[in-house]
Amino acid sequence: MTLILTCVTSQFVVQVSDRRLTRASDGQIVENPHNKALFVCGYATYAFAGLATMGRTPTDHWLMNHLAGKRDPLEELKTTTEAATQVLRNQTFGSASPQQRRLWRKVAFVGGGYVGLKRPERFGRSTQADNLHPFLAVISNFFDPPATWLAESDVRFALHFQFLPETEGMVLLAAGFQPTTRHRIRLERDIRRCIAHSQSPWPVARLLARGVREVADRSSAVGKNVMCMLLPRPSLPSDLSATGPRIVINERPALDEIEVFSPGDGHDESSTEKHWVYWPHDPSAFPYYGPNLACGGWYLAGGKFGPAELGDREVSESAPPPPAERRRPLP
């Protein structure tokens, strides 16, 4: 089961997910060869937990096809919810019992981003200079808002959509495998401290990625190879592009956490360009992975980068951890 942590603020969205496990239609937990992260244009980021396929289509491609930025974002979420209900209604699970089917067909699509409102007063919101309003969205058949994940799935998917309350600095949602209450409270406290001192998504991305790793240390159901999606408040909401992390090729010196979660050359922390970071458990291992992108009916499936002889190999989740390093304060 994947763990997805999504943090929505007025100035940025950060979404972090592990890349490890999904459930096949025969009920087996399998290593996920597909990408769980998706940028939609320049205004939203999504990830999924649950089934590896929707019908006969890999779930990451199914999500990319349905949230391709072809129409109004709210309408797109509604049609995706209806399509998910329809495809799983016809999906077979072999000789599974009714109870097994309710367990196996659990799926959650979780997203955060910004939607334009020309008349925000209809939603009880104040006018913004750029008309953009931050939101959190969940399409799932086992989610009970605001934050409860059920043990069994329903036959229908439901859409939960909420704007970031204007009186709140942030909202954090943990989807899929759940961290402990103590872990979640500590994570929320640390994030609030970050956003009180900086409007950059980078320190929050570090905290969320570290949070996924901490859960993975306690449970084999969560993987330690982490994908991070950083979406600043967009200036080009129809942009089909994203920048990626620094990758050192020659001699492969391992980047430490500070170097991984920093913008790199040619960028600064105030940039409005969306960015992704793949953070493998073994920092010297290839291949590296990129996210999927979709906008205006076009898509770009996330690729892999590394030596050709490793092209079909998954990065091990059981690689030894990197050497301990001196702790440094968050920027």
Yes or no: say if 297 and 69 are a contact pair by the CB < 8 Å rule. yes
For residue 314, give every residue at least 6 positions away whose Cβ sits within 8 Å of its Cβ, in sequence order, or none.
31, 33
Rounded to a whole number of angstroms, the distance between the first and last alpha carbons of the chain is 32
Q: What is the pLDDT of residue 173?
A: 97
Residue 233's pLDDT is 93
Distances (CA, A) of 78 to 85, 204, 237: 11, 30, 20
- Looking only at the bridges linking them, the beta strands covering 275-279 and 226-232 are antiparallel
Say if CB 158 and CB 143 are below 8 A apart. Answer: yes
- State the helix-helix crossing angle for 202-218 and 181-197, rounded to 10 degrees: 170
One-letter amino acid of 235: S
Tens digits of pLDDT across the chain (331 residues) = 689 999 999 999 999 998 765 666 665 655 555 668 999 998 999 999 988 889 889 899 999 999 988 888 899 999 999 999 999 988 888 788 888 888 889 999 999 999 999 899 998 999 999 999 999 999 999 999 999 999 999 999 999 999 999 999 999 999 988 999 999 999 999 999 999 988 899 999 999 999 999 999 988 888 888 999 999 998 776 777 888 877 766 655 667 888 888 876 555 666 668 899 988 887 777 778 889 999 988 888 887 887 776 655 555 554 443 333 333 333 3
Strand partners, 109: 48, 139
- From 49, 17, 67, 38, select the one nearest 301 (Cα to Cα): 38
pLDDT at 326: 36
Question: Which domains, and CATH codes, for the chain?
Answer: 3-310 (3.60.20.10)
- How many angstroms from the chain centroid is the CA of residue 163? 18
Q: Is the pTM of this model over 0.85?
A: yes
Q: How far, in Å, CA of 275 to CA of 228, rounded? A: 8
pLDDT value at residue 165: 95
